[in-house]
Amino acid sequence: MGKSGASASGPTGSRVAGWSGAGHRVAPEIQPGDSFTAHLTLRRAGTFIYHTHLNDLEQLTSGMYGAIVVLEPGAHFDPATDHVYVAGWDGDADPPHILVNGDSVARPLEVAAGVAQRFRFVNIGMAVRLRFSLAADSVPAVWRQVAKDGADLPAAQSKPGPAAIVLSVGETADAAFLAPAPGTYRLTVGPPGGPVIWSQAVNAR
């Protein structure tokens, strides 16, 4: 329980100050230095998003967002094989300055060759579609999209293909990648057909 002395509970959905809830259990405004705990009932494992619904432009571009990773009962999150990428805006400049995981620069990611990796991508910018892709030099890698918007994809839609996914605002997607041998890949983010605005070296050892 946060200092606010109230919490919202129920199925997944929006939590808006002064509106969400029922009766006397209504989400309060969160004052500077204060806190509020929202209890969610998540009906399935997957990659989800939380973000502000108050003063959206100012607060979203100030970093009031993030990912929620829900695992199956008994499963454990392993950062050696499970990688989360959340893209958002830094301020309201035009064109927007895109950050991934709160930064414009990424340290290299070290992965084990021959070991399956899961990449979880989130686009929670204000208005720009983003393309997430993985390549070795200029050759696209191969991965398999396994989930979309917090739901596993059926087998017919989860087949190996070029490692590129385009997400609109508020969308998430998960991809499974296995480097067949040691090598260096480059994970990039940018608008479809536009310049790369963020990248990370992915080193398979």
What's the pLDDT score for residue 9?
Answer: 37
Total number of domains constituting the chain: 2
Residue 52 lies in a domain: no
Is the residue at 77 inside a domain? no
Residue 155, SS3 per DSSP: helix
Same domain, 96 and 186: yes
Measuring CA to CA, which residue among 58, 69, 53, 46 is closest to residue 16?
A: 53
Q: What is the pTM of this model?
A: 0.85
User: Is 63 part of any domain?
Assistant: no
86 in any annotated domain: yes
Verify that 169 and 95 share a domain, yes or no: yes
Q: Mean pLDDT by 10-residue block, N- to C-terminus, for the chain (205 residues)? A: 34 63 79 83 90 82 92 95 96 88 96 98 94 96 97 96 97 98 97 95 97
Range of the domain at 1: 1-41
Whether residue 76 is contained in a domain is answered as: no
